[in-house]
């Protein structure tokens, strides 16, 4: 049994940019990312010819985000040494170790899938802030198991830690944007919810720096590096209780107007929050029917079916645009195309975009509030990565919002897992034509978003809900008008 050339890339251990929800609130969230980036470097670059994992046919795959290849020797020695201590007869060593590696890599996405399904229960039972605290506690235990695995020579601890880490990532990727969106003022919601993308990048960078052999990428240092997640998680468990709870959760789901008022005054740094409280009361009255909403009721509710379909299309479009495939192929272009051409191409594209952006700002109608232009620009720049979370937040009202994030997270992680499984197989058969498979999916997502998804910027949640209903009724009426002539004929 031999690994395919890019098998280690099929399940990205280091969260990619689309997992933007992991960070903003969590001080950069480079605690989980440090573990992910470290294991990625340990697993991807295999160059040990003396170990059981020797693979002559598989060449190391260059990757722009990975530390030196020598880091792999550490985890290789750990797995091989642990296995040799438990060696049994009648067991094919290479196949068994291959299975351990494959399972270790794949179980992260499986954990993310499980974690996303727990989101709705966690945030509605313990609150947004409480769910974050519990998730940090899980991160502490995960870091402890990861560090102990090297001390007691038990790779089962490593695998279990990967599962728990994936669950934490799956929950954080949904809870953080949900929390940030609910505490943000209306005119800054888009900007705040796209900020986590920056901290994901910082987390990846920190994890790669700490993975260097000059720092913690050594025989004695890598267990400490794997435990680094627990140190930051402990800090966050101490700090998070002082954070305010979501005022929408307090008023609409807990019926605690006093605490909701206090939280709003603290968040807005002003005493007068009556207008925002009135908005919350209006939403509370309109969602009485949805108070006992669950996943099955949401799926069976015809009035909310277009919103559910929109969640699936948005998250599918995010995963099936080929961005993950492009990210992996980009690491090959450095040596295949050359540095100069890539630099020239990148700078040329940036130059064109600067001109187009300037023209757009000059030609648009000046608005009375300059801040809204700034927020729209900041929301546009990060590309489709964090935008689906913003739209999902604004399309649903309070009782059904956590369920929507749960379903969106499930679709996201499920497709992430499936794409990791099938992309390698497709790429080995049709080569560069693989990217053409993403084109119709991109076109379909574009058409659906253009035709169905309303503009939610600068509107209240209730306005977005009512506007979506009106658009849905208009589409039904237009379809009926188109069908009438054919019925008469």
Whether the predicted pLDDT of 233 surpasses 90: no
385: three-class secondary structure by DSSP: coil
Helix axes 222-239, 30-44, angle to 10 degrees: 160
- Please give the pLDDT value at position 460: 75
Of the candidates 237, 268, 262, which has an alpha carbon nearest to the alpha carbon of residue 250? 262
Lowest mean per-residue pLDDT among 11-25, 60-74, 224-238, 241-255:
11-25
pLDDT band at 382 (very low <50, low <70, confident <90, very high): very low
**Contacting residues for 245 by C-beta, under 8 A, at least 6 apart:** 127, 128, 129, 130, 259, 263
Nearest-angstrom CA–CA distance, 166 and 145: 14
Domain ranges of the chain: 7-243+287-364+386-475, 246-286
For residue 203, give Cα distances in angstroms to 87, 314, 343, 350. Answer: 38, 26, 25, 25
User: 258: how many CB neighbours lie within 10 A of its CB?
Assistant: 9
Q: State what percent of residues in the chain have pLDDT above 90.
A: 4
Per CATH, is 7-243+287-364+386-475 categorized as 1.20.1250.20? Answer: yes
Distance from C-alpha of 167 to C-alpha of 164, rounded to nearest angstrom: 5
Q: What is the pLDDT of residues 239-259, one digit of tens each?
A: 999 999 988 888 888 888 899
CA 261 centroid distance within chain: 31
Q: What is the pLDDT of residues 43-60, one digit of tens each?
A: 333 333 333 333 333 333
Q: For 261-301, how does the pLDDT look when each residue is reduced to its tens digit (9 = 90+)?
A: 998 899 888 888 888 888 888 878 777 666 566 677 777 77
Tokens 């574009």 belong to 446
Contact 209, 38 (CB under 8 A): no
Residue 134 has pLDDT above 90, yes or no: yes
Distance linking the first and last C-alpha atoms of the chain = 64
Cα–Cα distance, 287 to 400 (Å, whole number): 9
Average the pLDDT over 442-471 and give the result: 72
**CA 247/CA 262 separation, integer angstroms:** 9
Contact between 14 and 36 under an 8 Å Cβ cutoff? The reply is yes
Tokens of 427: 């790429």
């Amino acid at each position: 049994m031999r690994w395919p050339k890019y098998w280690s890339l099929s399940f990205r251990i280091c969260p990619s940019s689309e997992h933007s929800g992991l960070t903003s609130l969590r001080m950069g969230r480079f605690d989980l990312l440090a573990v992910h980036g470290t294991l990625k470097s340990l697993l991807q670059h295999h160059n040990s010819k003396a170990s059981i994992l020797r693979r002559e046919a598989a060449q190391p795959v260059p990757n722009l985000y990975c530390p030196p290849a020598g880091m792999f020797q550490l985890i290789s020695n750990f797995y091989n040494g642990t296995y040799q201590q438990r060696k049994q007869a009648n067991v094919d060593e290479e196949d068994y170790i291959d299975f351990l590696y494959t399972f270790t890599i794949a179980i992260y996405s499986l954990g993310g899938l499980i974690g996303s399904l727990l989101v709705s229960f966690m945030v509605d039972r313990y609150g947004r802030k409480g769910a974050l605290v519990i998730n940090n506690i899980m991160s502490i235990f995960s870091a402890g198991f990861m560090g102990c695995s090297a001390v007691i020579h038990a790779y089962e601890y490593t695998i279990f830690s990967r599962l728990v880490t994936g669950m934490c990532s799956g929950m954080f990727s949904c809870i953080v944007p949900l929390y940030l969106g609910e505490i943000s003022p209306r005119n800054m919601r888009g900007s705040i919810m796209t900020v986590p993308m920056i901290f994901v990048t910082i987390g990846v960078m920190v994890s790669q720096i700490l993975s260097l052999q000059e720092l913690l990428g050594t025989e004695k240092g890598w267990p400490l590096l794997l435990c680094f997640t627990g140190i930051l998680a402990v800090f966050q468990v101490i700090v998070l209780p002082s954070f305010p709870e979501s005022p929408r959760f307090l008023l609409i789901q807990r019926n605690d107007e006093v605490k909701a008022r206090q939280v709003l005054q603290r968040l807005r740094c002003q005493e007068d929050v009556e207008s925002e409280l009135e908005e919350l009361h209006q939403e509370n009255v309109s969602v009485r029917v949805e108070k006992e909403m669950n996943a099955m009721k949401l799926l069976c509710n015809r009035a909310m079916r277009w919103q559910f379909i929109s969640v699936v299309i948005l998250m599918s479009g995010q995963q099936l645009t080929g961005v993950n495939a492009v990210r992996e192929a980009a690491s090959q272009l450095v040596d295949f195309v050359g540095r100069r051409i890539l630099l020239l191409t990148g700078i040329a594209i940036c130059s064109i975009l600067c001109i187009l952006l300037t023209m757009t700002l000059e030609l648009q109608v000046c608005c009375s509030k300059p801040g809204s232009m700034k927020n729209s620009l900041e929301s546009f720049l990060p590309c489709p990565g964090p935008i689906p979370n913003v739209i999902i937040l604004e399309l649903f009202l309070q009782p059904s919002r956590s369920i929507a994030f749960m379903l969106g997270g499930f679709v996201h992680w499920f497709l992430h897992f499936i794409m990791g499984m099938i992309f390698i197989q497709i790429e080995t058969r049709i080569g560069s034509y693989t990217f053409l498979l993403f084109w119709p999916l991109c076109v379909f997502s574009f058409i659906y978003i253009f035709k169905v998804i309303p503009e939610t910027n600068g509107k209240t949640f209730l306005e977005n809900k009512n506007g979506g209903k009106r658009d849905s009724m208009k589409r039904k009426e237009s379809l009926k008008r188109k069908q009438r002539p054919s019925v008469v004929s």
